[in-house]
Amino acid sequence: MPVRPDAELCATCHKNTTDEWKSSKHKSAGIQCESCHNPHAQTPLAPTITELCSNCHKERGDSFTHGTHANSGLECSNCHMYTVPRSEDPIGGLVPTGHTFSVGSEACIGCHQETVHTRDEIIKLTGEVQQAEQVKVEDLQKQVKEQTKIISSLEASSSVRLYTGLVQGAIVGLVTGGVAAWIVSRRIKVVEVEE
C-alpha cells in the first residue's frame, strides 16, 4: 500500500502538533515529520534529541548559551520544545507539544525563576556589560534623533496617503454615480397614457 509519509498524513491524528509545526522554520525549510520521527516505532530517529538536532544544526553548539546548557545536561528540546507544565485540564483535550521550536521567555523562567527579575544577573550572564561599556552616549543620542526623524516622515507620509486615498475614492464614487445616473436616465421612456 503506497503511503506518502508527510505532515498531511500525520495531521489526520496529530492535528495540534502539525498546526504548531506549520508555524515553525522546519515547515518553511521543507522538513517533514518523518525527518525526525520514526512513524512505526513512534520514537525519534536518534538515541538522544541533541544528536537528532545535530544532524542539521551542527554549528549551533558553539555559542555560550548552547554550550552552558549542554554542559548542564540539557537537551535541545528542554528549551526549543518547552511547554508550560499544566495545572488544570486542557481545553478540548489539546495541549501544546512544542513543535514551533521557538524559545520564549517562559522557557527561561521555567528554570531561572530566581534570576528572571534580577536584570544585573541576566546582563552579567549574557555579556552585555562589556558591550554596554563600549557604547558612547553621543552615538545613542544621534541614533535616537535619526529614528525620530524617520518616524516623523513615516507619520507624515501616512497622513498624505490617507487623504489622497479619500480624495481618489470620492472622485471614483462621483464618476461612478454620474455614469450610473446617466445610463438610467437614457433608459427611462416617457409614456403618455390617455385617461
Burial 13-39 (b: 16+ CB within 10 A, else e): ebebbbebbeebebbeeeebbeebbee
Secondary element (H or E) of residue 117: none
Secondary element (H or E) of residue 74: none
Q: CB of 33 within 8 A of CB of 11?
A: no
Q: What are phi and psi of 174, to 5 degrees?
A: -65, -45
C-alpha to C-alpha distances, 44 to 74, 87, 186, nearest whole angstrom: 17, 27, 75
- 53 burial via Cβ count (<10 Å: 0-12, 13-18, 19+): buried
pLDDT truncated to tens, each residue of the chain (195 aa)?
667 767 888 888 888 888 999 989 999 898 888 888 888 888 888 998 888 888 888 776 667 678 788 888 888 888 898 888 877 877 777 788 888 888 888 888 888 877 666 656 655 666 555 566 666 788 888 889 999 998 888 888 888 888 888 999 999 999 999 998 888 888 776 667 776
Secondary element (H or E) of residue 44: strand 43-44
From the CB of residue 52, how many other CB atoms can be counted at a distance below 10 Å?
19
Torsion, Cα of 161, 162, 165, 167 (10° steps) = -110
List residues bridging with 37 in a β-sheet: 44
3-state DSSP assignment of residue 53: helix
CA dist., res. 32 & res. 35, Å (int): 5
pLDDT attached to residue 41: 83
Whether the full predicted model's pTM is greater than 0.75, yes or no, is no
The CA-to-CA distance between both ends of the chain, in Å, stands at: 84
